Chain A
Amino acid sequence: MAEVATNHPMDEIKNDPRVPAELNNNVFITTLDKLYNWGRKRSMWPMLFGLACCAIEMICTAASRHDLARFGWELMRPSPRQADLMIVSGTVTKKMVPQIVRLYNQMPEPRYVIAMGACATSGGPFKEGYNVVSGIDKFLPVDVYIPGCPPRPEALLHGFIKLQEKIEKQSLRTVSWYRKGEATVVPVPVLGPDLTDLRRAQEIVGRVQANQTEAVQPAA
């Protein structure tokens, strides 16, 4: 088996007297969680999916100088079915967000979301715009936020490492995708007179009616 990093669980048992000498360096004992996460975090397949200016820095990160392949993350897949990481790299507009949510729903579990840059985090410089969503976390659960406009490639790498740390802490016993029940599906927002989040439909109905009565009363 290939040599692994020095902090590998292997070290803990190297000198364990219960392990016969001839088995040393040939048998690994570890927890399933650690093995599972170790493999997982080093072979993320991000979705090839650029939104705006930040996507250019994402491409630069994947290119030769910054070389995303060092982390085992270079296999970008255009299809959400084959990807387990969505890098929201740019401004999320109202017109685009139904598609983003649909792509997220199409990704198999386990799946992660990185909000790259000010726009994906909060709307950024374009926050006040009428067609801009104030951050993708209004719709999707975000794992790592990366500040910057655009974040430098190093910052994106830092974000990746943070996500690796997060993955390391997950346990097979508690992760949602091995539990019973339906996978979480985010309802796809609807493009009405303005962007409509269907999870808020009831509230919208109520408030629109309340506003109407307010508006009618002074006139009456």
Chain B
Amino acid sequence: MSETTPAPATATPAKPAPKAAPAARHAEKKPAVTLATMTPEMNAVQQHFGEVLIQPAPFEGFLVTDPAKVRDVALFLRDQLHFEMLSNQTAVDYPAENVIEVVYHVSHISGGRPLCFKTRVPRDESVAVPSVTPVYPGAEFQEREIYDMYGVRFSEHPDLRRILMWEGFNGWPLRKDWKEAYYEGDTKPFDSRWPGGHHKLAEERVPWADNVNYPPGFDPNAYVSNPDGNLYESMLTGTNGHELSAPEIDIGADTVVGVEPGLKTDQIIVNMGPQHPSTHGVLRMVVRIDGETITDLKLVLGYLHRNHEKIGERNTWLHNIPYTDRLDYICGMANEMGYVIAVERMMGIQPTERAEYLRVIMAELTRIQSHFWAIGFVLNDLGAFYTPALYFITERDLIIDLFEAVTGSRMMCNYMRFGGVARDFTPEQLARARELVFERIPRAIDELERLLSDNEIIKARTIGVGYMSAERSIAYSLTGPCLRAAGVPYDIRRADPYSIYDRFDFDIPVLYGGDVYDRYRIRVLEMRQSLRILEQALNQIDQTPAGDIQAGKKAYNHRVPAGQTYARVETPKGELGFYLVSDGGQNPWRYHVRSSSFINLNSMREMTIGQKVADAVVILGSLDIVLGEVDR
């Protein structure tokens, strides 16, 4: 192995600084680092680029030793090895080795485990990584997020600004040595949380008596705030950055379409949100309009950025389960499932049979209630204000009641555990679930279809609106119902099966319109498929012993062996992935959420350009985002 091979990814033991060493708590343990075994695909890359450039990385994937070559590798992976979709892109900080590792996961649209590759740049921001947006446009938001959180620069990125924080914020928050104002310790449990610990409010402990920190020399009276950077200027002049990308690659509909030739009108910029009834939370759309026609659109995110990942890296592994509920707060159960599966994969444990069934039942009920919600609110956006939504919220409430009966909470269920679930269904609750699945919900879906599917107004407003082709959808890493409505049968339950989905007989519905109407219809079809799964699961669950819901002993402090994993599940919104890095301790070293809502929004710009303003609202509704998951 050559000199350039990096030291183990687990930074803890080698950390020279004696004080404030990250995760010093478990410094005594030196975890073994295994290099990834080379798969045939990795060998193909290595053969093409040479062994100096491509080396096996610790634990998973391969390392591109020269960051400048990342885009070439990505292009090779996409065009020669047919990894059409960039599933996930993130970064990990290793202060001991003074590097930040940028991690990519690419997938075949036909299925299989994703392929991981990495590259490393020094922490001093001296080296920029070539942006992969020309190859995978879906990287745009993810690269902006990495820049925002780690300060890694991407050259030739179309619009490299902060995305979750604002321009001018001090520091790169996800770096391991960056401390938030209420910093108390690197890892939980904090001393103050133990019995006998001090009982001071965070406000009493910190110098500013508030959750703020100011750099030296800061003068609020002289400070000129510019949280959006050059957003408006770039949109007004049309140099919004997208033209700067590699010219031979078409990055999107930059030309002004839908505007009458010869008619000279002024373009104006309108802000929709963050407080706007159409934005489903605190999203801000900045649109440049010509009359009623949208000629450019930019999204401003981060209004609900709750620092999920920073908090997640301080938490113990178990602590994070209730936090995942709050990611996509409509479908807490589905998020939990993704997280526990990721951790189980690293710990090498399996849940019990009954727990698997209970998880599937909960996840599929979640899908149904989420789709009810989504459809109701698309209708809201169409102007059918609240009437359809009220019907569907009624149905959703019945499912939520079951969640509450089983878990104790309506939305934040905190139900799944590593190796099992927290509580079993009682026979009465099972009977209730059966009543819902066999009687109530199918009728509700029938009613929904009768009410909406052939409605003249809905058709007029949605057919052909927000179209995106299958190719562009894949390029933009669009996942979930929106991708399947564009004709791509990509569902993680089949593409990369997890849990016990391989046992059930169900279809992946596909439609080919790629517009808002098909995104509505695909959700109806998916609800019916979820019912099929539920029927089978509820019939089979009686063959498993009641009460056998936890493999092994219940534990509070899990030690997860050193390693890395990217595990993904199909939530109602799309592909939800968890990229976890463990250094063998009680806390994740890296806890990254690949959120489908966030990445699906990437494609919104191209979908909306050329449409009317009112359609932008509907297109956003059809993407079915939840801001908790977008901003995390």
Contacts and interface: CB of A to CB of B under 8 A. Distances in A.
Interface of A: 48-53, 55-57, 59-60, 63-65, 78, 80, 90-91, 93, 95-96, 99, 103, 123, 125-134, 138, 149-150, 152, 190-198, 201, 204-205, 207-208, 211-212, 215
Contacts of A129: 180, 306-307, 310-311
A191 B166 contact: yes
Given A131-B165, A149-B412, A193-B170, A125 B627 contact: no
Contacts of A208: 214, 216-219
Interface stretch (B243-251, B322-330, B617-625): B322-330
A157 B227 CA distance: 37
Contacts of B270: none
Nearest to B327: A53
B281 A55 contact: yes
B628 A52 contact: yes
B216 A192 contact: no
A111 B184 CA distance: 38
Given A52-B329, A95-B305, A133 B214 contact: no
A205 B220 contact: yes
Contacts of B257: none
B223 A192 contact: yes
Contact of B410 (A131, A152, A194, A215): A152
B307 A130 contact: yes
Given A53-B628, A192-B168, A128 B182 contact: yes
A110 to B, nearest CB: 21
B168 A132 contact: no
Contacts of A138: 210
Question: For the complex, would chain B's binding face be called helix, strand, loop or mixed by DSSP majority?
Answer: loop
A95 B304 CA distance: 8
Nearest to A129: B307
Contact of B307 (A52, A57, A131, A193): A131
Given A57-B411, A130-B173, A208-B216, A65 B225 contact: no
A127 B400 CA distance: 27
Contacts of B184: 128
B281 A51 contact: yes
Interface stretch (B271-279, B354-362, B495-503): B271-279
Contacts of B227: 95, 191
16 contacts: A50-B281, A52-B326, A53-B329, A57-B411, A80-B275, A91-B304, A93-B305, A95-B303, A128-B180, A128-B182, A128-B314, A130-B307, A133-B211, A134-B202, A190-B225, A194-B214
B519 to A, nearest CB: 21
Contacts of A190: 220, 223, 225
B218 A193 contact: yes
A172 to B, nearest CB: 31
Interface in B92-149: none
B556 interface: no
B81 interface: no
Q: Which of A91, A128, A138, A211 has the most CB of B within 10 A?
A: A128
Contacts of A134: 202-203, 210-211
Interface stretch (B153-161, B389-397, B589-597): B389-397
A91 to B, nearest CB: 5
Interface in B159-198: 164-166, 168-170, 173, 180-182, 184
B213 A194 contact: yes
A193 B304 CA distance: 18
B394 A193 contact: no
A4 to B, nearest CB: 29
Contacts of A49: 275
Given A95-B305, A192-B223, A201-B220, A132 B281 contact: no
Nearest to A130: B180
Nearest to A80: B275
A103 B166 CA distance: 20
Given A53-B411, A63-B390, A191 B304 contact: no
Given A53-B326, A53-B628, A191-B168, A128 B410 contact: no
B302 interface: yes
B282 interface: yes
A60 B399 CA distance: 13
Contacts of B212: 194-196
A60 B393 CA distance: 7
A96 B330 CA distance: 21
Contacts of A132: 211, 306-307
A105 to B, nearest CB: 13
Contact of B216 (A90, A96, A191, A215): A215
Given A59-B393, A131-B173, 19 more contacts: A52-B281, A57-B410, A64-B390, A91-B306, A93-B304, A95-B166, A127-B202, A129-B180, A134-B203, A191-B169, A192-B225, A193-B169, A193-B214, A193-B215, A193-B218, A205-B221, A208-B218, A208-B219, A211-B216
A194 B281 contact: no
Contact of B169 (A48, A150, A194, A212): A194
Given A55-B281, A56-B411, A78 B329 contact: no
Contacts of A63: 389-390, 393-394, 397
B231 to A, nearest CB: 14
B322 A125 contact: yes
A198 B221 CA distance: 8
A216 to B, nearest CB: 9
Contacts of A93: 302-306
A96 B284 CA distance: 11
A95 B228 CA distance: 11
Nearest to A97: B303
Contacts of B306: 52, 91, 93, 126, 129, 131-132
